[in-house]
């Protein structure tokens, strides 16, 4: 089992964040522009854990030592059933540096977009707070 899958299934936000590279780029299924950086990606993933209901991975594609992995999932958001896939690319250190999510059907993607829009103010606050904590720690 891929370590990211294990962390997500355990709902372990700290373990998920530890698997992200500092320069990770998150590409959302419902936003036009990618989100660069660990702080915003970790905050988005925490938001996703708040809106996904009955989340489960159903398939893993990729050899254990490969740089690219696909994790197929099923979940529900606001009563809409969603099938999706997390596409992960690992850097030389084994950290996730590219994270792309795709979902279907359109009604599920729309429900996800609405649910995440409701989360986005909190996501931004969490990301800014993390960046500020890291900057303060670097100054010491």
Task: Kindly report, residue by residue over 71-128, the tens digit of the pLDDT.
Answer: 999 999 999 999 999 999 999 999 999 999 999 999 999 999 999 999 989 999 999 9
Q: Describe the crossing of helices 38-51 and 106-139 by its angle, rounded to 10 degrees.
A: 140
C-alpha pair distances (Å), 94 with each of 2, 11, 37, 43, 81: 11, 20, 16, 21, 32
Q: How confident is the model at residue 135 (pLDDT cuts 50, 70, 90)?
A: confident
Segment 56-64 shows an average pLDDT of 93
Residue 115 confidence (pLDDT): 94
Residue 24 confidence (pLDDT): 98
Is residue 1 scored above 80 in pLDDT?
Answer: no
The DSSP bridge pattern shows strands 20-27 and 35-36 to be antiparallel
pTM of the full predicted structure? Answer: 0.91
Report the run of H or E that residue 57 belongs to, with start and end.
strand 53-61
Residue 133 confidence (pLDDT): 87
Residue 44 confidence (pLDDT): 96
Is 3-139 CATH 1.10.760.10? Answer: no
Is residue 58 scored above 80 in pLDDT?
Answer: yes
Domain ranges in the chain are 3-139
Tell me the per-residue pLDDT of 24-56, one tens digit each, with 9 for 90 and over. 999 999 888 999 999 999 999 999 999 999 999
The DSSP bridge pattern shows strands 20-27 and 53-61 to be unpaired
């Amino acid at each position: 089992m891929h370590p990211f899958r294990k962390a997500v299934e355990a709902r372990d936000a700290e373990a998920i964040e530890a698997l992200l590279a500092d320069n990770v780029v998150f590409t959302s299924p419902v936003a036009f522009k990618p989100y660069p950086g660990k702080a915003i990606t970790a905050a988005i993933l925490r938001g996703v854990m708040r809106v996904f209901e009955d989340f489960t991975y159903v398939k893993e594609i990729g050899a254990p030592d490969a740089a690219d992995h696909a994790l197929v999932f099923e979940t529900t958001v606001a009563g809409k059933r969603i099938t999706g896939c997390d596409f992960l690319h690992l850097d030389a250190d084994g950290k996730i540096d590219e994270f792309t999510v795709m979902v279907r059907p359109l009604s599920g993607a729309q429900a996800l977009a609405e649910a995440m829009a409701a989360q986005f103010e909190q996501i931004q606050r969490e990301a800014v707070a993390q960046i500020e904590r890291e900057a303060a720690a670097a100054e010491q």
